[in-house]
Amino acid sequence: MRNLSSAVNTMLSLYNTKSFFLVELSGLSRYHTTLPFDITMSNGRTYTSDGGLIGVDPPRLSSVVDREAYKISFVDTNYEFRNYFNSGVVGAPLKVYLGFFNTSEETINSIEPDEIFNNINDTITVYEGVIDNHSYEIDFSNSSIICVIEGSSPMAHLDLVKTFSTSRDQMDQYNTSDTSLDFTYQGSGEIALKWGKI
């Protein structure tokens, strides 16, 4: 069960909850927010508003096991992310937080009404994983270039194929003292059996 701070529980109980997203691309040293201004959280990171973050599209809930991914979209007209993609970002850490404004009429944890809870403990971690895929979506009709980064889903390894060759060389990569596959590819030969009375 997920533990939420008292401030978050209070905000979720109100009818006028106001929230925003914080996206950490730690492997790329990029930190973004959907807020219209930059914000520095208690973890010491400054999340920028001008990084082009336009949306966080969480996976759809379904009753079957599938590979629905977590998608994050950026406007990237100058192809800023292309250099990161070329350097290989698959497997880099990705984290998404949901932050809150104080929409109550009282001060909570020294945060005045209509101010932002800037303590990272007063957020909800909505996704924590790694980058699984990335792509560009180009729309020539309105000249928009959207960079889409996908986080791996909890079921991402369902289609993972790991080949393992049953040979001595393959086993030596894991354990040099294991001799279970030393004679796998050795051909057959004559066996002389002694049987009967001695």
The pTM score is 0.71
> Residue ranges per domain, the chain?
6-155
Taking alpha carbons only, the member of 33, 42, 32 closest to residue 122 is 42
Taking alpha carbons only, the member of 38, 52, 132 closest to residue 93 is 132
Residue 86 is inside which H or E element, if any? helix 82-86
The DSSP code sequence of 124-169 is EEEEEEEEEEEEEEEETTTTEEEEEEEEPPTTGGGG-------SHH
pLDDT at 161: 62
pLDDT at 177: 84
pLDDT at 162: 64
Where would I find the beta strands (DSSP E) of the chain?
Answer: 19-25, 30-33, 39-40, 46-47, 53-57, 70-75, 93-100, 124-139, 144-151
pLDDT at 160: 58
Tens of pLDDT along the chain (198 residues)? Answer: 578 888 888 888 888 889 999 999 877 788 999 999 999 999 999 999 988 888 888 766 655 555 567 889 998 888 888 888 887 788 888 899 999 999 988 888 888 999 999 999 999 988 888 888 888 888 888 778 899 988 886 655 555 566 767 777 777 777 788 888 777 766 666 767 777 776
pLDDT at 157: 55
